[in-house]
């Protein structure tokens, strides 16, 4: 006797064999982000020095430098408005890369000012601690967005290597 297949109008036939859900999306996104990081997909080499690997391949390409507006790490995490601007600049840098440009696209964190101090007072924690904690959170969140920043070039305004050039 031949086996009979489930009728096509049964509830079981409505469920696809490969179901795309939040857990699967998260796993796929993490896998791509890990690959981009491992391969240095968004890294722009320097002409000389520590970060010069691969410069010969891009030396003759037109260059572009794009710096996203610094988020202020004066809160526990990014809010929904942050990605609005970041997505626009990310699309622009991807376009530049696809049209043959050597693109240095990075991000920074503006850690000075009253908002950081007020957040530290609100949480009863030293501003240096809240700032570093919040920057680490922001970095994780920005990575999850899949933005094409060269993370090696990230700027923190509290880093002496940065502010020595801005506060003399």
The domain spans of the chain are 62-168
How far is 32 from 143, CA to CA, in rounded Å? 11
Coil vs helix vs strand at 97: helix
Q: In the numeric block, which tokens belong to residue 55? A: 């410069």
Contacts of 75 by beta carbon, 8 Å cutoff, 6+ apart: 119, 134
Angle at alpha carbon of residue 162, lines to 84 and 133, rounded to 5°: 60
Phi, psi of 41 (to 5 degrees): -55, -40
Sole residue written with tokens 């982000």? 33
CB 115 within 8 A of CB 105: no
Q: What percentage of the chain exceeds 90 in pLDDT? A: 53
The model's pLDDT over 54-103, given as tens digits with 9 standing for 90+, comes to: 999 999 999 999 999 888 877 788 888 889 889 999 999 999 999 999 99
- For the 62-168 domain, the top CATH level (class) is alpha beta
The contacts found for 88-97 with CB under 8 angstroms, 24 or more apart, are 90/147, 90/148, 92/66, 93/64, 93/66, 93/148, 94/148, 96/64, 96/66, 97/148
Percent of the chain past pLDDT 70, that is, above it, reads 90
| 10: pLDDT strictly greater than 70 | no
Taking alpha carbons only, the member of 101, 99, 89 closest to residue 148 is 89
Q: What is the pLDDT of residue 34?
A: 96
Look at residue 53 in the predicted model and tell me its pLDDT.
Answer: 92
């Amino acid at each position: 006797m031949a086996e009979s297949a489930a009728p096509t109008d049964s509830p079981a036939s409505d469920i696809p064999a490969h179901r795309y859900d939040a857990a699967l999306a998260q796993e796929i996104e993490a896998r791509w982000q890990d690959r981009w990081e491992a391969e240095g997909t968004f890294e722009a080499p320097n002409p000389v020095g520590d970060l010069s690997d691969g410069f010969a391949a891009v030396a003759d390409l037109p260059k572009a430098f794009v710096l996203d507006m610094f988020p202020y790490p004066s809160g526990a995490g990014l809010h929904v408005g942050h990605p609005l601007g970041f997505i626009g600049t990310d699309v622009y840098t991807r376009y530049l890369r696809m049209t043959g440009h050597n693109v240095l696209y990075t991000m920074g964190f503006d850690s000075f000012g009253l908002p950081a101090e007020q957040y530290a007072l609100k949480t009863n924690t030293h501003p240096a601690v809240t700032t570093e904690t919040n920057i680490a959170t922001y970095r994780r969140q920005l990575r999850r967005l899949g933005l094409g920043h060269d993370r090696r070039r990230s700027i923190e305004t509290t880093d002496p290597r940065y502010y020595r050039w801005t506060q003399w």
